[in-house]
Amino acid sequence: MPPIIAPSVLAADFANLQTEVEMLNRSQADWLHIDIMDGRFVPNISFGLPVQAAIYKHAKKPLDVHLMIVEPQLYIEQFKAAGAEIITVHEEACTHLHRVVQQIKNTGAKAGVALNPHTPVAVLEDIIADIDLVCVMSVNPGFGGQKFIENTYRKIEKLKDLILQQNSKALIEIDGGVNQQNAAALISKGADVLVAGNFVFSAEDPIQTIANLKNIGS
């Protein structure tokens, strides 16, 4: 099956955000990946609810919202109201992860959990059956354009084993440093969703670049 492609709007031209979203609408992208950063959980600030709501106004594809923030439980309902169809929180930011996952599901959104590069897959053992998506960070979160961490391949394999063992329906999403060179290997290891930011938006032809990623797994 071809992978789900979720271009990261963080790498878009913010001065022409509507145009960029309309370009993604015309492309073979499946989701729009929305990176929310608070300057506390990660050393960067991106954008928040008003910008997400503006994107949603023009988007014709689901918003895959990645909350890189502390205390995400305080804002789940607002992000859902601003158009999120998938809400992903970081395992490292949630003392009561099961409660936050249930909070997300209660809004009607799909629930995802993200893991930083140093966080082992095993921390999801008791919750993998309850979640819809695992976002494996293949760079340290906070900035676009970083180099892909090679250990990600082993992590995907371990995560796939855990998903199969627990009969979970969770999708595996890879976020960071995804490009034409590593996409096929990621898919072969078990990745279902590829997040691509700079690789898409800095391309001469972003629509063709998305199509190339989409066709890798077919």
pLDDT tens-digit readout, 7-19: 999 999 999 999 9
List the Cα angle 119/104/171 in 5-degree steps: 55
Is pLDDT above 90 for 58?
yes
Q: Are 55 and 154 in contact (CB under 8 A)?
A: no
The span from the CA of 73 to the CA of 80, in Å, is: 12
Strands 32-37 and 63-68, how do they pair? parallel
Checking if the pLDDT of 217 tops 70, the result is no
pLDDT in tens, 34-50: 999 999 999 999 999 99
What's residue 175's pLDDT? 96
Predicted pLDDT of residue 215: 93
**CA distance linking residue 62 with residue 79, whole number of Å:** 13
DSSP letter for 187, please. H
pTM: 0.96
Which of 65, 24, 31, 32 lies closest to 47, judged by CA? 65
CA angle 50, 55, 56 (to 5 degrees): 95
Domain boundaries, the chain: 4-216
Identify whether 130 is a catalytic site residue: no
Residue 143: predicted pLDDT: 67
Region 4-216: CATH code:
3.20.20.70
Helices marked H in the chain — which ranges?
17-26, 49-58, 76-81, 97-106, 152-165, 183-189, 198-201, 206-216
Question: Is pLDDT above 70 for 128?
Answer: yes
Average pLDDT for 202-218 = 92
205 is catalytic: no
- Out of 35, 38, 132, 192, the active site residue is 35
Active-site annotation holder among 30, 38, 175, 192: 175
Q: What is the mean pLDDT of the chain?
A: 96
| Cα–Cα distance measured from residue 190 to residue 194, given in angstroms and rounded to the nearest whole number | 11
Does residue 184 carry a pLDDT above 90? yes
